[in-house]
Chain A
Amino acid sequence: MRLTCPHCGPRDRREFYYYGASEYLNRPGPEAAPDAWDSYLHLRDNPAGVTQDLWYHEQGCTAWLKVTRNTVTHEILAVEAVAGGTK
């Protein structure tokens, strides 16, 4: 498996650390109801198809990346830097 880092180019899977669903980017506000926190922390879809998750380019540029991929075909559809800038 390879991910094309927007900074570093195509890189081997072993350079990356998997974090979890891209839901983690949508942290509820401090006043949010317990339901929102429950959903944020625990409720996940498990799609057979397109999914989005967060990967860390640990042995590379150290950017957090949002990866869109297909769990059925193993296709990598997009890799985007979470923080702005591409340098």
Chain B
Amino acid sequence: MPDLIAKPALGTMPLNLGQIVLTEAPMLETHSIQPYPGQEKAVSKALKEIGLAFPKPNTWLEKAGLRIVWTGREQAFLLGGVPPAGMPAAVTDQSDGWVTLTLEGPGARDVLARLVPLDLRHVKKGDAARSGLGHMPLILITEAPDSFRLMTFRSMARTAWHEIHDAMTKVEARRAAS
């Protein structure tokens, strides 16, 4: 069995424009959890073992470095660890399928407003949304009103970076000119 080395999707340096910073986040172990029909409560109970519960739509929860994010109808992603064994749910390891970027700083929401069809004026820590980044799929995790984690398909990492860079350039140009 050869040793497999996990490599980042981009391996690029953070990008600072004005006060906005775009970064490729370290890869986290990512598991999709989809409770079997009617088993959501049982899954929530099983997740207690790691201090978590099945998250309500549009939210995320965290305990001891483990995070669980609502990612769609009857689906959540566990980030940063392994789910308890034997849950009545379809559990798949998707660690190599996603890239996570962080976007932080005053103006981060103005950047997202150019790419994401959501009203982010009132977002707060604990919010999560399944939406789109341009034409790409997006899981948007709000850490603070000006601090976001963005997950999209790893195969689209360079396009996502490019599009966000482009939006950052325009937001920063407007700020500088005003």
Contact = CB atoms under 8 A, between A and B. Distances in A.
B56 interface: yes
Interface string A58-73: 0111110000000000
B74 A60 contact: no
Contacts of B73: 7, 61-63, 81, 83, 85, 87
B137 A87 contact: no
Given A7-B73, A87-B73, A15 B132 contact: yes
Ordered nearest first, which 10 A-B pairs have the shortest CB separation? Answer: A12-B117, A59-B132, A61-B73, A61-B72, A63-B73, A7-B57, A62-B72, A60-B130, A61-B130, A14-B117
Nearest to A81: B73
A34 interface: no
A9 B128 CA distance: 12
B40 interface: yes
A43 B56 CA distance: 40
B72 A14 contact: no
A36 interface: no
7 contacts: A8-B58, A15-B132, A59-B131, A59-B137, A59-B138, A62-B130, A63-B73
Interface in A4-58: 7-9, 11-12, 14-15
B132 A9 contact: no
B58 A60 contact: no
Contact of A14 (B40, B129, B130, B132): B132
